[in-house]
């Protein structure tokens, strides 16, 4: 595959070095992109990329139906980065980077190109040494040092090196797992330099674009709230504002697409199940996680809920105590309050906080 020779392909992966080079060689200046009427479509598409990330957590990969479309798609990416930098919202930057990476991941898996071409092109792009296993086109192997570099933020147990096949310093992976690692590399590349240092006067000239994005972001925050719950959903919860600080922080991290360790995920899942959320409601909360896999997450939540999952049985788990939360570091960097001093369990905190709030009313 020759990315550089095919604008219709590289426009689907605008974070690649070939895409940057293509834009540079096109002769379009920053002034052109910012102010020329010719590139209004690119500016609107740049704004649209960010709004798609806010609304759905994925940036659409449109079908290319005209000769001008690849250029507009390519130019919309640097313009989106300028808009993000002018807004300067850390959560929005993380959500956008994750949304672009997820969309690219899905496009790669669905590509009609040869799998080996995709594997080798992308591994070369991100400096990963990878080879197919002899006689097996469905598995690859890569040096463990590269594996550790790109899986450092993946919290699921299956990514731990001790759970992988390792031979002569090389880790074995399925092709789909390697593409997941590529998604992580894409995510890191996109957010690495953001926000850019954009002059204030330039940002002011882009207000009609950034204001539309900020309104969309505000609406999402109003809908989701600080605890990570969608207020439009029919949650069977009396008041998320009464959640203990540790649970609120974990939920906030999940909402913002931050990787949460297994112990934190278990704690928040058990807590939410204990106070009456359904499995489907909890799955919605996890959808922002960088390594979200609906089938696997549902299986794990059902296990904690005590749903009959065959070999796992039907034990229903209770949220861990405050002492256990502290032991596993889930209370680190969490600002406790006066209610924390009176209880020894997150569920006790919730019940007491509810009681105090109702009493004050």
In angstroms, the Cα distances linking 251 to 233, 244, 282, 289 are: 16, 11, 11, 11
Question: So what's the pLDDT on residue 158?
Answer: 81
Residue 141 forms beta bridges with which residues? 131, 172
Question: So what's the pLDDT on residue 225?
Answer: 54
Q: How many alpha carbons lie under 13 Å from residue 227 in its C-beta half-sphere?
A: 18
pLDDT in tens, 292-340: 888 889 889 988 988 644 444 456 788 999 989 988 888 888 888 888 8
| Helix orientation angle between 144-151 and 175-192, rounded to the nearest 10 degrees | 60
Q: How far apart are CA 27 and CA 7, in angstroms?
A: 15
Q: How far apart are CA 97 and CA 47, in angstroms?
A: 14
Q: Could you tell me the domains of the chain?
A: 3-108+197-218 (no CATH), 109-190 (no CATH), 225-360 (1.10.579)
* Residue found by looking up tokens 């896999």 in the block: 293
Backbone φ, ψ for residue 155 (5° rounding): -90, -20
Question: So what's the pLDDT on residue 100?
Answer: 94
217-230: average pLDDT: 68
Higher pLDDT, residue 68 or 84: 84
49-78: average pLDDT: 90
Question: So what's the pLDDT on residue 314?
Answer: 52
pLDDT in tens, 46-58: 999 999 999 888 8
Of 186, 187, 184, 206, nearest to 84 by C-alpha is 206
pLDDT in tens, 83-124: 999 999 988 999 999 999 999 988 888 875 555 677 778 888
Planar angle of CA 198, 202, 203, nearest 5 degrees: 75
């Amino acid at each position: 595959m020759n990315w550089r020779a095919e604008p219709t392909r590289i426009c689907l992966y605008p974070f690649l070095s070939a895409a940057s080079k293509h834009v540079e060689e096109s002769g379009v200046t920053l002034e052109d992109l910012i102010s020329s009427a010719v590139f209004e479509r690119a500016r609107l598409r740049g704004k649209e990329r960010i709004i798609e990330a806010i609304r759905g957590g994925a940036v659409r990969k449109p079908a290319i139906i005209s000769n001008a479309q690849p250029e507009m798609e390519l130019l919309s990416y640097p313009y989106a980065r300028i808009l993000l930098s002018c807004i300067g919202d850390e959560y929005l930057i993380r959500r956008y980077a994750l949304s672009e990476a997820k969309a690219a991941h899905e496009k790669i898996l669905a590509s009609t190109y040869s799998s080996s071409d995709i594997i080798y092109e992308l591994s070369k792009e991100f400096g990963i040494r990878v080879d197919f296993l002899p006689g097996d086109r469905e598995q690859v192997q890569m040096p463990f040092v590269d594996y550790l570099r790109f899986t450092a933020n993946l919290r699921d147990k299956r990514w731990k090196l001790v759970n992988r096949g390792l031979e002569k310093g090389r880790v074995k992976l399925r092709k789909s797992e390697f593409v997941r690692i590529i998604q992580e590399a894409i995510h890191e590349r996109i957010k690495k330099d953001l926000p850019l240092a954009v002059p204030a006067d330039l940002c002011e000239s882009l207000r009609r674009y950034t204001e539309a994005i900020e309104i969309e972001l505000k609406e999402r925050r109003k809908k989701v709230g600080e605890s990570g719950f969608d207020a439009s959903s029919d949650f069977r919860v009396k008041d998320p504002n009464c959640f203990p600080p540790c649970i609120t922080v974990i939920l906030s991290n999940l909402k913002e697409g931050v990787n949460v360790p297994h112990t934190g995920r278990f704690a928040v899942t058990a807590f939410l199940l204990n106070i009456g959320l359904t499995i489907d409601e909890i799955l919605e909360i996890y959808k922002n996680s960088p390594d979200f896999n609906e089938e696997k997450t549902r299986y794990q939540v059902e296990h904690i809920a005590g749903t009959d999952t065959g070999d796992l049985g039907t034990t229903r788990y209770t949220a861990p105590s405050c002492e256990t939360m502290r032991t596993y570091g889930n209370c680190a960097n969490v600002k406790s309050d006066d209610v924390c001093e009176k209880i020894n369990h997150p569920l006790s905190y919730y019940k007491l906080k509810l009681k105090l709030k109702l009493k004050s009313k």
